[in-house]
Amino acid sequence: MTLKTCAFCCVLLVVAIASGCSRKTGPERYDVSGTVTFRGEPVPSGTITFEPDLSRANSGPVSVIPIVDGRYDSVALERPGPLAGSLVVRISGYPAPDPEVEIQPALFPEYRTKVDLASSTGVAVLDFEVPEASRKRGIR
């Protein structure tokens, strides 16, 4: 193989890899962000999960995004956001991480609510206030 042929093959390989890596695969997902509070205060840590609402004929992958200091942001945390449609949102919240405590108790039982993402922009800012009643009654 000549040096020119080898160089040409290397250039083709780099172009093929770069173009394949830059493509998004799968259905379009929303960029979601917002705040999560409990008792009027930011939830120190936890997760917010967006899952398709099967009872409303929505299907697709689940999206789990960490809550940090009362905020979540799928783009900033490089997490795939949810698909459009009717969604069940599950929120779990915990105190700020403490290196001396191995397992933190939950601030409240997992909270559930529903939302509809129908905007054509692909971006949604959703703020959630976990009600005090969820601490007493559990999941609703």
- The reported pLDDT for the residue numbered 108 is 96
pLDDT in tens, 26-85: 677 899 999 999 999 999 999 999 999 999 988 899 999 999 999 999 999 899 999 989
pLDDT in tens, 86-138: 999 999 999 998 889 888 899 999 999 999 998 667 899 999 999 987 655 44
Per-residue CA distances from 53 to 1, 100, 114, 128 (Å): 57, 38, 8, 18
Residue 78 exposure: Cα atoms within 13 Å on the Cβ side: 0
Scanning the structure block, which residue is given the tokens 């080898």? 6
Sorted by where each begins, the domain ranges of the chain are 28-137
Q: Which of 74, 75, 54 is nearest to 64 (CA)?
A: 74
* Average predicted confidence (pLDDT) for the chain: 81
- The reported pLDDT for the residue numbered 26 is 66
Collect all residues with Cβ–Cβ distance below 8 Å to 65 and sequence separation of at least 6.
32, 47, 48, 49, 50, 72, 73, 74, 77, 79, 81
Percent with pLDDT over 90 in the chain: 54
Answer yes or no: are the C-beta atoms of 79 and 88 closer than 8 Å.
no
Q: Which CATH architecture has domain 28-137?
A: Sandwich (2.60)
